[in-house]
Chain A
Amino acid sequence: MAQAREIDPRPWYLLSPALLAIALLVVVPMSFILVYSFYENIDLGLDAPAFQFGNWRELLTDGYYHDAIWKTFRLSAIVTVLAAVLGYVPAYFIANTRFRHKWLLLLLLILPFWVSFIIRTLSWIHIMGNQGAINGLLLWLGVIDEPLPMMFNEFAVIVGFIHVFLPYMILNVYVSLEGIDRNLEPAARTLGCTPWQAFLEVTLPLSLPGLAAGCLLVFVLTAGSYVTPLILGGPDDFLFGNLIYDAVLSELNWPMGATLSFALLVLLGVVVVVYSRFMRLNQLSKAFG
């Protein structure tokens, strides 16, 4: 018993390279950012080292920022829900297909990552823009008289996000579907379930951990983005990340940028912690314990 309490140092040796890398590349820079958030911005690009709460006060009192936080969470939630619905179907298909070259389907999922994310996002201009493929086709067919406004609005931003983050959702759901015993659905069927009931009773609940992980990933990735709204959104379609971008690159107000960055980190950290608490459904952890 006493021996079991003694800490085996070996795991720490093995972890040390990773811990060192995280410390140097994440913890230290984040500390700088935190320190910077207390500095004072005097003029464009000119900061004075200080310890004052002006930046934080501005963040907490200015409705503009609160609005951006609300917008970010709302849009992330929409993207997450849509990605969950749209991602579950292909994941289910890949997990259950009798197609012999399953790896090929998985490769197709990973294939988009070989092209720069910015190029993939820009490609939507050619698909949904006024002179894009969809409008071109509809105009040519005579279905519409003038181009549908599909670009530079929230719709375009949502489409862009789903496009980019869907593979994360599919892969996560796929992995958990793969882990489900193939006999469970037949077992449910012999006990009286229709195929749909068997899915709802067995497959869906057992794939929830993967779905939950996929949702968290998509939510956090969306909430931390700024490029997609920048390229595909209109003037009002900004996320919190865009405010950071503006503060740092347009206003050259690094202390404010640091404050906003750190605030976003804390907000998303809270989301991750709360979410993992609630989504680790008590039953599931017991079932897989």
Chain B
Amino acid sequence: MARVELKGVSKSFGPITAVRKADVVFEEGSFTTLLGPSGCGKTTILRMVAGLETPTGGDILVGGRRVNDVPIHKRNLGLVFQNYALFPHKTIAQNIAFGLKYRGVPKAEASDKVRQALEIVRLPGVEDRYPSQLSGGQQQRIALARAIVIEPDVLLLDEPLSALDANLREEMRVELKAIQHRIGVTSIFVTHDQSEALAMSDRIVVMSAGEVQQEGVPEEVYNTPANEFVARFLGAANLFDARVTGADAGSVELDTAAFGRLAVPRERALWLGDATAARLVVRAEKLALSAGDAVPAGTVGAPATVEAVDYQGQLARYFLRIGDSRLQAIQMIDGRPFPEGATVTVAVRPEDCTALPVERAAGTT
């Protein structure tokens, strides 16, 4: 187990910069997710920590030791690949014992460890089978067992769940987190799936275009996105142009076309600074819809027209229009959803909104 630190790490492939001056700390024993769309540099960071790529700038420290020039096989890392990368010509036992063999672990001890590892991933008794005889989910468990059996300093997970089907994926993510918690290994998890990131991580590092956009615990990243990219990438967010009309110690007052004036708490306007133009971020699930034109106390609201409904059983996603603004709302429903064309009142509590500065190049997606 070890703390991993990236100090100004960059990686270019010819003229293309995959990672630009990344400074990230992965605390000992933590589960950190690198989250971002494909091509954002998250996998490159993982591969650099693993030693499969060499940084073109900066230092990578594992347990305080600079590892830039340490060859892959001397780094003692466990890497789990998206496509499992099990050795098809070796039995499950041989696959798991592979790393032990190269660490000079005696055979008897190795087979004990293999059995323990299989118990940890809840697949006992498959030692003599071949990878092709197991299902995708089982193969991914074996890949995990193979990575953890060597007691790595760091466990690197490269989109390990994305090849699994939806139900299995959710089951595996709970289990993976539980296993990580139990063995306490520092883990770096790469994914483009925001729900995986939110569900599993101690910390999330959101990346885009080779740069770290925001770093923090899941609730922080979700509730107070640092910029429009993060706001849009995590969850469904509505963004409105706003004007800063006033501020005091506890809140910032904004004026929006859709909802009029509202006071956003200071801690939700951290990134705003003293800008006068702002973007108001309202999560789709924070909007409350009601029939009639009463705006509930403590909220700001406006009448809206339902343009389309995406009914999903226990909840519905509404596509709404308030004047010229279009917005999305997600709401639990009880009975029937509002029909298309209905006029409803949309309301939101100001303390559920976040204010961001206006970006010059908006929409980095």
Contacts and interface: CB of A to CB of B under 8 A. Distances in A.
Interface of A: 181, 183-184, 186-194, 197, 201-202, 205-206, 283-284, 286-289
Contact of A187 (B51, B81, B132): B81
Given A186-B52, A287-B130, A287-B132, A192 B102 contact: yes
Interface residues of B, number: 27
B88 A190 contact: no
B1 interface: no
B359 to A, nearest CB: 37
B132 A190 contact: no
Q: Is the interface of A mostly helix, strand, loop or mixed?
A: helix
B225 interface: no
A191 B146 contact: yes
A191 B81 contact: no
A186 B130 CA distance: 20
Contacts of B50: 186, 190
A13 to B, nearest CB: 33
B200 interface: no
A200 to B, nearest CB: 12
B277 to A, nearest CB: 46
Contact of A287 (B52, B71, B85, B88): B88
A79 B146 CA distance: 41
B89 A186 contact: no
A202 B87 contact: yes
Contacts of B146: 191
B355 interface: no
9 contacts: A187-B85, A191-B73, A192-B98, A192-B102, A192-B150, A193-B102, A197-B73, A205-B89, A287-B88
A184 B73 contact: no
Given A191-B99, A197-B102, A184 B85 contact: yes
Interface centre among A190, A205, A286 (most CB of B within 10 A): A190
B72 interface: yes
- 7 closest Cβ pairs, A-B complex: A192-B102, A191-B99, A183-B85, A187-B85, A189-B72, A190-B79, A287-B88
B73 A190 contact: yes
Contacts of B98: 188, 191-192, 201
B199 to A, nearest CB: 26
Contacts of A202: 87
Contacts of A186: 50, 52, 72, 79, 81, 85
B197 interface: no
A288 to B, nearest CB: 7
B99 A192 contact: yes
A284 to B, nearest CB: 6
Contacts of A188: 87, 98
A164 B76 CA distance: 47
Interface of B: 50-52, 71-73, 75, 77-79, 81, 83, 85-89, 98-99, 101-103, 130-132, 146, 150
Contact of B150 (A184, A191, A194, A289): A191
B73 A288 contact: no
B163 to A, nearest CB: 12
A183 B150 CA distance: 19
A146 B152 CA distance: 65
Contact of B81 (A183, A206, A284, A287): A183
Nearest to A180: B88
Contact of A289 (B72, B78, B79, B132): B132
A187 B102 contact: no
Contact of A288 (B71, B78, B83, B132): B132
A206 B79 contact: no
B87 A192 contact: no
A210 B79 CA distance: 29
B208 to A, nearest CB: 25
Given A189-B73, A191-B98, A183 B83 contact: yes
Contact of A206 (B72, B73, B77, B88): B88
A183 B51 CA distance: 13
Nearest to A198: B73
A193 B75 CA distance: 11
A198 to B, nearest CB: 8
A221 B220 CA distance: 70
Contacts of B85: 181, 183-184, 186-187
Interface centre among B51, B98, B103 (most CB of A within 10 A): B98
A92 B99 CA distance: 25
B72 A190 contact: yes
Interface centre among A197, A201, A206, A289 (most CB of B within 10 A): A201
A288 B79 CA distance: 24
A14 to B, nearest CB: 29
Contacts of A187: 79, 81, 85-87
Contacts of A289: 130, 132
A194 B75 CA distance: 12
Contacts of B52: 186, 189-190
B61 to A, nearest CB: 18
Interface centre among A183, A191, A194, A284 (most CB of B within 10 A): A191
Contacts of A190: 50-52, 72-73, 75, 77-79
Contacts of B99: 191-192
A284 B132 CA distance: 11
B73 A193 contact: yes
A205 B78 CA distance: 23
B150 A288 contact: no
Nearest to A206: B89
A194 B73 contact: yes
